[in-house]
Structure 1
Amino acid sequence: MSSPITCHVLNTVSGTPAADLKAYLTLLNPGSSSLQQGMTFNAVTNVDGRVKEWDPVGDITLTSAMDKFNDGEKIAWGIRFEIGPWYEERGIESFWPEVDIKFYVKKGERHYHVPCLVGPWTYTTYRGS
């Protein structure tokens, strides 16, 4: 079983997955939960450019964090990808130091997948399935 929020990053320069890219998932509003605004889960994309699971924050997993919200509650999250350093490690200068995607999820709805196509001069994203 994967996390309730996953992502997939593709490098548009090479047309390949963006493997080993640092990603951060941050809670932007705690809503009805007792969670702290700004709580951030970390991950690194796998060889397929995907994050299927986020590292826990202490003993709190993303799944247990989502359980603290009311069914149907709209929750704002943000995913930040460290694009600049990632491209620089590959000898490419990037216009973007990072890509920051903010979005809503509703507790109790289906899984949320956030794909991102990145390049050193452009990026695009959409709600995946």
Structure 2
Amino acid sequence: MSRDPITCHVLNTLSGTPAANLPVTLTLLSAPSNSQSPVSFHAITNSDGRVANWTPVTSSSPSVPAILSSLPAADSKTNWSVRFEVGPWYEAQGVESFWPEVEVKFTVKGRGREGEEGWRHYHVPVLLGPWNYSTYRGS
């Protein structure tokens, strides 16, 4: 299965392991055309702490690749949010977390079609602990 153009990877710094089974929400915050806002997607991190594909929250919503492919210009910008449900996830492991959720907002510049040159991939890695987190623009 191919991956969506926006992915994430979460590592649990408390245990030094991937953050498996962590609920994650990806939301389109703004787009050149307001008709696409807001659109949300849901996923659960896999055993390696990764999300490669997103499921639209509503069945009528377009996919992440469809949204980016439909942008009006090659340098169009869209703002996104990826939210990790940290509090309940740590609580289920018997660990108290300072964070109920961790949200990372970022800008995607560009559009394209999967398989075409110029298709940009945005990877959001997160190092996550019950009292701290960090993130950066991944590759």
TM range (shorter): over 0.9
Tell me whether 1:3 sits opposite 2:4 in the alignment: yes
Q: Give the 3-state SS of the residue equivalent to 2:67 in structure 1.
A: helix
Name the amino acid aligned to 2:64. Answer: L
- The aligned counterpart of 2:66 is 64
- The aligned counterpart of 1:111 is 121
- The aligned counterpart of 2:130 is 120
Superposed structure 1 runs of 4+ greater than 2 Å apart:
none
Paired residues for 1:1-129 under 5 Å? 1-32=2-33, 34-35=35-36, 37-56=37-56, 57-59=58-60, 60-70=62-72, 71-108=74-111, 110-129=120-139
Distance 1:95 1:33 in 2: 35
Aligned alpha-carbon RMSD (Å) = 1.2
Alignment check: 8 A CA contact 2:11 2:18 kept: yes
Question: Which shows bigger deviation, 57-66 or 70-79?
Answer: 57-66
Q: CA deviation at 1:30?
A: 2.4
Identity of aligned residues (%): 55
Distance 2:14 2:130 in 1: 8
TM-score under structure 1 length normalisation: 0.94
Q: Give the 3-state SS of the residue equivalent to 2:127 in structure 1.
A: strand
TM-score under structure 2 length normalisation: 0.87
Alignment check: 8 A CA contact 2:30 2:78 kept: yes
Q: Give the 3-state SS of the residue equivalent to 2:30 in structure 1.
A: coil
> What number of residue pairs does the alignment pair up?
128
Distance 2:53 2:34 in 1: 21
Alignment check: 8 A CA contact 2:31 2:77 kept: no
Structure 1's unaligned 5+ residue stretches are none
Distance 1:33 1:64 in 2: 15
Structure 2's unaligned 5+ residue stretches are 112-118
